[in-house]
Amino acid sequence: MLTSAAIGMAGYGVYEAAVGVFDLIGGHHLEVVADVAAILFGTLLVLAAAFVRVRLPGGLALAIGALLGLQALAIHSAAHSTGVVTLAPQFARGAFAALLVALAHLSGPERAPMQ
């Protein structure tokens, strides 16, 4: 489960960073600051995924922070692109982030067998 969570977080981070780069280069749907923030949060999530995978203390907290930052930018992006924030895509994105965090948390540290 831990590997699945780390791969999911890394994939999500790469996707968000790539969307930020493409928007910065071509589309300009968002402000430059928002695009740069998406790139930074996506990169931070990829780094946090590696920390989660090796169970570094604070790695999951770092991943949660990056996921929350990306969620805030998604709401900002939706408000700019359509003028209205629809709830279904935001809940789906939040549920996916919660699933990744739950997978990482529930995989917990390995315990030594009882003697």
Q: What is the pLDDT of residues 46-98, one digit of tens each?
A: 999 999 999 999 999 999 999 999 999 999 988 888 888 999 999 999 999 99
- How confident is the model at residue 31, as a pLDDT? 87
Instruction: Round to whole Å and give the CA distance between 44 and 38.
Output: 10
The alpha carbon torsion through 87, 88, 92, 98 (nearest 10 deg) reads 40
High-pLDDT (> 90) share of the chain, % = 75
| Secondary structure (3-state) at 64 | helix
Query: What pTM was estimated for this model as a whole?
Result: 0.89
Residue spans of the domains in the chain: they are 2-106
